[in-house]
C-alpha cells in the first residue's frame, strides 16, 4: 500500500484505519509473523477476522507494530512510509501515548 507524503502529513482516522489494515495484512503475509502476533494477542485464525472488523482493534495492530522496531522498520520500508507515520496513525486512533511520570 503506497501512501502519498501529503497523506502522511495529515494523518486522520480514515488513513489510520487503512494503515492498520495494511499492517495486519503485512503481519499475516508471513506465517512466522502471524503466529507470533496470534500468540501475543491470544487470538486464533478465526477470531482474527472478527477482531479486524472492530475499530478498536486497529489501534492495537499499530501498537503491536510500534512495539517491535525491526517489524516496524520492515513494514515502513515495504510500504514506502516513514516509521513516524505509524506512530501518528496510532495517535489518531488512540490518542497521545502516556509515558507516565518521569
For 33-62, write each residue's pLDDT tens digit: 999 999 999 999 889 988 988 888 999 999
For 58, the domain range is: 12-94
Number of domains composing the chain: 1
| Cα separation, 93 vs 52, whole angstroms | 14
In a domain, 102, yes or no: no
With cell 487470538, the residue in question is 43
Average pLDDT over residues 22-27: 97
Please answer whether residues 64 and 38 qualify as being in contact, where contact means their C-beta atoms are separated by less than 8 angstroms: no
Cβ neighbourhood burial of 94 (10 Å; 0-12, 13-18, 19+): middle
Residue in the structure block whose three cell numbers are 495486519 = 24
pLDDT band at 5, cuts 50/70/90? very low
Share of the chain above pLDDT 70, in %: 84
In a domain, 100, yes or no: no
Q: What is the mean pLDDT of the chain?
A: 87
Q: Is 63 helix (H, G, I), strand (E, B) or coil?
A: helix
pTM as predicted: 0.81
pLDDT at 2: 45
Residue 101 lies in a domain: no
The residue count for the chain = 102
The pLDDT-based confidence of 8 (bands split at 50, 70, 90) is very low
Amino acid at each position: 500500500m503506497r501512501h502519498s507524503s501529503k497523506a502522511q502529513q495529515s494523518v486522520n482516522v480514515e488513513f489510520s484505519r487503512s494503515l492498520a489494515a495494511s499492517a495486519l495484512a503485512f503481519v499475516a503475509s508471513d506465517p512466522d509473523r502471524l503466529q507470533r502476533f496470534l500468540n501475543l494477542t491470544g487470538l486464533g485464525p478465526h477470531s482474527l477476522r472478527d477482531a479486524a472488523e472492530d475499530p478498536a482493534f486497529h489501534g492495537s495492530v499499530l501498537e503491536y507494530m510500534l512495539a517491535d522496531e525491526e517489524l516496524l522498520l520492515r513494514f515502513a520500508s515495504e510500504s514506502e512510509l516513514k516509521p513516524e507515520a505509524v506512530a501518528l496513525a496510532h495517535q489518531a486512533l488512540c490518542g497521545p501515548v502516556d509515558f507516565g511520570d518521569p
